[in-house]
Structure 1
């Protein structure tokens, strides 16, 4: 998508200044926003979460798991990582192959 392409372009443009640019692509995450979406679709949130959990790891993500990805990208542990889209979706993207 557009954000991933922008991330790659910015990583190329700003690498010489030692600026790293990455993005996080989160999958379904158990948040109020996800539960509100279920309500707007007229589905019980438990059913919606169960459907969303049909991925290799068998569940939706937790907000803390997305935060951990952000902390990793902001840390020195990722000092050689730039121009990447970190997919944090419990294998959802892999399962759609």
Structure 2
């Protein structure tokens, strides 16, 4: 459940905040947050933490990193084509 929240809400809120005042409609900002780049930052920060933490903490960080990245690949790999198709067809935009 926490991984799903991290892969969706936690990722999309900063995108929405960053796009405030830009003129981008909220539904399109949500789409950008959902389809946008992901994973690289998690890997970089996770590996930095892994290198600096004591062994037991480093193993936990590495485990969380792997689960999060694999979850992202699965969730977004399956969900992004559906989301993009709905957006293209107008069924996900409120039109």
TM-score bin, normalised by smaller chain: 0.3 to 0.5
Q: Which has the higher strand share?
A: 1
Q: Which has the higher helix share?
A: 2
The two structures have a TM-score, normalised by structure 2, of 0.39
